[in-house]
């Protein structure tokens, strides 16, 4: 094969590949229009409110934001960095959404207990 024949063959192959991708996308879209139902319908799971809430629950930035809101509400403005360092020291790894939220719960309970003991009113 000479260069021109190889070029034509490559163009034909790329067009065939693009057509195959379009056909696959059309097939997926056609399937999406029908309710396949059941527990394992991925399209319904992706659209569900629970999936969106789980996605937010595992979001580290949102967990940090919630912790900062908790600390600011209790006037502990500079304690956020110390809390992250504490999590790293105790767990031996970077903070994830679970450890941040659990630490936030613990701090919240501790603050509420201190307020109750010393009868602090806001």
For 1-29, the pLDDT digits (tens) are 788 888 899 899 999 999 999 998 887 77
The answer to whether residues 98 and 92 touch, using CB atoms and an 8 Å cutoff, is: no
pTM value > 0.75: no
The pLDDT value recorded for residue 106 is 94
pLDDT in tens, 65-100: 999 999 999 888 888 889 989 999 998 888 888 899
pLDDT in tens, 28-51: 777 665 555 556 666 666 677 777
Please spell the DSSP secondary structure of 1-21, one letter per residue: --HHHHHHHHHHHHHHHHHHH
Using alpha carbons only, what angle is made at residue 29 by residues 28 and 34, rounded to the nearest 5 degrees? 95
The pLDDT value recorded for residue 33 is 58
Question: Tokens for 50?
Answer: 């629970």
């Amino acid at each position: 094969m000479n260069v021109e024949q190889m070029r034509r063959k490559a163009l034909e192959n790329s067009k065939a590949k693009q057509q195959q991708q379009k056909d696959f996308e059309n097939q997926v879209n056609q399937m999406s229009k029908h309710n396949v139902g059941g527990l394992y319908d991925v399209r319904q799971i992706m659209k569900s409110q629970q999936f969106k809430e789980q996605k937010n629950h595992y979001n580290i930035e949102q967990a940090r934001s919630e912790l900062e809101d908790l600390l600011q509400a209790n006037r502990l403005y500079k304690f956020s960095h110390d809390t992250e360092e504490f999590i790293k020291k105790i767990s031996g790894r970077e903070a994830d959404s679970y450890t941040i939220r659990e630490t936030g719960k613990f701090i919240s309970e501790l603050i509420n207990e201190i307020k109750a003991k010393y009868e602090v009113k806001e």
